[in-house]
Structure 1
Amino acid sequence: MKRILLRWAAPLIGGVVALLLIFLLYGSLDFWKFLEVLRSANPVWIVVLAVTILLEQFLNGWKWRQILHDVKSVGTLRLTGALLAGYGANVLVPLGISPLVRAWIIARLEQLKMATVLTTTIISRFVDGVVFALFAGVLAMSGRVPQVEGNLELGLSVAGALNIAVFGGLLWAMFRFRALFATDGPAVCRLFDWLAKRMRGDGRELRRALCNGVVWPRDAMRRAAVFLGAVAAKLTAATHFVWAGLAVGVVLTPWDYIFLMVFAGFIMVLGRFVRIPGSFIFGAGFALQMLDVPPETALLMILFNYIMSIILVVGFGLIVLWQNGIDIHRARLASQAVDAGI
């Protein structure tokens, strides 16, 4: 009973909260007006939205290529495919295994250690966190935040500062203690080896493989390209609501689109921690409400983004998984992998 409660209580509570938030956001929705706006939507802008969704993932793959380059030079398209496969795996097995699947695919195709590749994906995520926090800081300092009850600018500033402190601190710790973690003397290393042994892994080899992935490009141009790729991907993500809005006749200011990306992004991350499904929908819904977008139009803009992302990112990801011979059972096994030899 305890196991059942631990596994299902949080998602159940999250689902109830999600339904409550949907009712609060769209309880007064005019369904017939919603259908009318849907029928008049311009499909050309939806196609542009689809292209930019894939472009964002391509830019993320290019950024990952710069980080991985000193380990091994891997093509951007191959890395982009691995990124998409990670999203596809999360649909098959919703346990947050996407980094493991990406690392497994690249390690298998490029004859690398999975743990080494996994570390580079973690560095890429941390860089994204720092860049996202910078966007939040710039937005708060610009004064272009919707004026609502409460100090939203202060909230964004605090959230951005926390993001930089957490992700920047984790990046610093990875590079500062990389050499120490590879040695056999420290107590934390002995504890790691003991835990790995209990899970039938070689702790020493796993630690060394992980440390081999703690790399930063030696070439100055590639170092700049890491942050350039992260910024370009975030700006591309901000344009998703531009195209979705144009499809239904909504035009906002450039700062409004940055606000949408930042606010919805923070709510989505928070929703993952508290296990509320569909947190992106709520975050974007509240943001569009603050920007005085009619609920029927706002819901369509959100659904265009959400559905196109699922169809394209997850759809292409499942194709990559199929090409690499990964099924649900193998994805579950990947989530428990600790052996450095895989």
Structure 2
Amino acid sequence: MNDNCFAAAVWHGAGDIRIEYRPRTPLKSGQVRVKVSLCGICGSDVHEFLTGPHAIPVGTPHPVSGETAPLVIGHEFTGMIIEASADVDLAPGTRVAVEPEYRCGECAACSRGEYNLCQSMGFAGLMGSGGMAEEAVLPSYMLHPLPDTVTDRQAAVLEPAAVALHALRRGRVRAGDTVAVAGAGPIGLLIAQLARIAGARRVIVSDVSEARLSMARDLGATEMVNAASADLATVANGVDVAFEAVGMQVTLDAALASVRKGGRVVFVGLCGGLVSIDGFDLVNREVEIIASVGYRDVYPDLIGMIASGLFDPSRIVTREVALGNAVREGFGRPTTGGQDIKILINPSVKGALS
């Protein structure tokens, strides 16, 4: 294969992600070409693989990326700049973390600085080509230079960590607070870890997986609840802030029941449909419901926390897989009862490239 192509995991449809070669395109103004070091598989990626499209544009291009399927999947990634357009002040050889949110820069939300609420919001790797590939072309505003004290593995988990920190800030968690987390997937585990770093004196995590609850304990959670046999609300007994980190009615119910009067429930999980809430109970207890989507203005703080040794998001990584094996050993694992929490794809190891 010549230098004008690169290997990538390309979404063509539900159940159809192909490892194939894509043509290298010239850079446009404001763009940077990044050699990808590692790319994580997100739950959103798995949903697109199993039952998509959900977010991936089919037929009508995304208004910012201008792309439509088939496109390169993967939005949790890091790498090194290998080329930049003339109007970009970032040098080749710079290691970068990728904050993959698209923004138009012109709508009311962008004007307020709330770019995660852009009217044309989207993510590289879902609404445009992303990072599960040997290289990626991105707008320069997505890139954050990395110090040598942040490893590639840590940087590859910055995106879900950003979701967690934004949610924590939305929930206004303060030192001394009590916190419940319904769901010990990657986001829930990172919320628990960051809540303890923020000074929460109790962090109660519920899940049906003992392996995930064990990891929650290792990350600093003070109490673990197996939701298959115990009740989060009974153990939590009125926390200050509860986080729903799955996107299911049952976990939302658990979060709502676990919070005290006047407390806050942060809805982070992506629910696929309508949910029901007891409005009478909500008003009577003056419970505040807060939604949290994506992130804004958190990457520099997270990079600083990692560089100082305060925070290590890579502790949730359970496996690294070659790019050529991404479908069988990556996307297929959540459907076969595996105990993996965060799988990273390594594009420099091609594996069984087809």
Q: Which has the larger radius of gyration?
A: 1
The two structures have a TM-score, normalised by structure 2, of: 0.23
Greater share of helix residues, 1 or 2? 1
Higher strand share: 2
Q: TM-score under structure 1 normalisation? A: 0.24
